[in-house]
Amino acid sequence: MLLVAGALVTSKDAALSVADWPKSFGTWFPSWAVLNGGAFFEHTHRVVAAGLGILTLILSGALWVTEKRLWLKWFSVIAVLGIAIQAVLGGQVVIRLLHYWLPVMHACFAQLVFAALISIAVFTSRWWLEEKPMLQDAGSPGIHTIALLNSAVIYFQVILGAGFRHKEISVKPHVIGAFVVLGMISWTAATLRRRFGASTEFVKARKMLHGIFGLQFLLGFAALWSRITTADAPQPMPVMVALTVLHTVVGAILFATSVLVVLICYRLVPRRGQVTVSAERQVTA
């Protein structure tokens, strides 16, 4: 919901519709009379962000009460701090009048917070806690390296997309980046199929990567087409807004999926050093 709300603010050119922060028009609860036009989207974005902040605090508190893994407790604190930093960045976007690449940083940091919350969901899932047979990775480079590189390439594409949406760079780097991501995802999925074709988790993971990227690729060109064809419109047209918001949100889901693939790799495939140590100990015994 927050990703949708944020994308609507950008697509509707509503970023400075509410000129003060953290309050809106000098109050925490502005009347409907002043929330017209872009102000509605900007204030809604702040309300949804506040709701996410409260939910993340509750999540962190619940983990500190019920969770035994200390590292996960502190990771939840990092997620809460990430929400706070993101809120401050959003405020600076308004205070600094969209300057200094702040809108781009705000958009890109949101993806990292999203990935952190996705990770907490995975770490607390029954699947993560259950005993799983370990898979051996005999290829080179290692699957962990490929998965991390895949995630990094997709995140760089997110940065390029945010730079274009906020009018800091042209669309050309983002278009070129789409084909780089296509190659990277194809390599990652092919590697998963070749090395771990019998793994149910990796079968689902590579299908998700292919499917979500295919949708994102089509949405990207549709969004670009809508921008070009409505460039002379006096205000953002509904078709352009809808396609841009969908493209932005599906891009975030694609990045989150790439993070999920990284987590699956680390859960099911021991790193080379760990396998060697285990084997040495077994021989010694």
Instruction: List Cα–Cα distances, 192 to 86, 182, 203, 278, in angstroms.
Output: 34, 15, 8, 24
Q: Assign domain 134-273 to a CATH class.
A: mainly alpha
Task: Please give the pLDDT value at position 273.
Answer: 58
* Residues 269, 125: Cα–Cα separation, whole Å: 18
Task: Please give the pLDDT value at position 283.
Answer: 40
Task: Please give the pLDDT value at position 280.
Answer: 42
Going from N- to C-terminal start, the domains of the chain cover: 1-130, 134-273
Task: Please give the pLDDT value at position 97.
Answer: 82
Instruction: Print pLDDT tens along the chain (285 aa).
Output: 999 999 999 888 888 888 888 888 888 888 888 888 888 999 999 999 999 999 999 999 999 999 999 999 999 999 999 999 999 999 999 888 888 889 999 999 999 999 999 999 999 999 999 888 888 888 889 999 999 999 999 999 999 999 998 889 999 999 999 999 999 999 999 999 999 888 899 999 999 999 999 999 999 999 999 988 988 888 888 899 999 999 999 999 999 999 999 999 999 998 765 654 444 444 433
- Residue 57 CB contacts under 8 Å (≥ 6 apart), including other chains: 80
Q: Contact 258/151 with Cβ under 8 angstroms?
A: yes
Q: Contact 48/277 with Cβ under 8 angstroms?
A: no
Task: Please give the pLDDT value at position 272.
Answer: 65
Task: Please give the pLDDT value at position 274.
Answer: 61
Residue carrying the six token digits 């983990």: 63
What pTM was computed for the model? 0.89
* Residues 10, 181: Cα–Cα separation, whole Å: 24
The answer, yes or no, to whether the previous bond of 173 is cis (omega within 30 of 0) is no
Instruction: List Cα–Cα distances, 101 to 94, 98, 162, in angstroms.
Output: 12, 7, 10
Task: Please give the pLDDT value at position 25.
Answer: 86
Task: Please give the pLDDT value at position 231.
Answer: 83
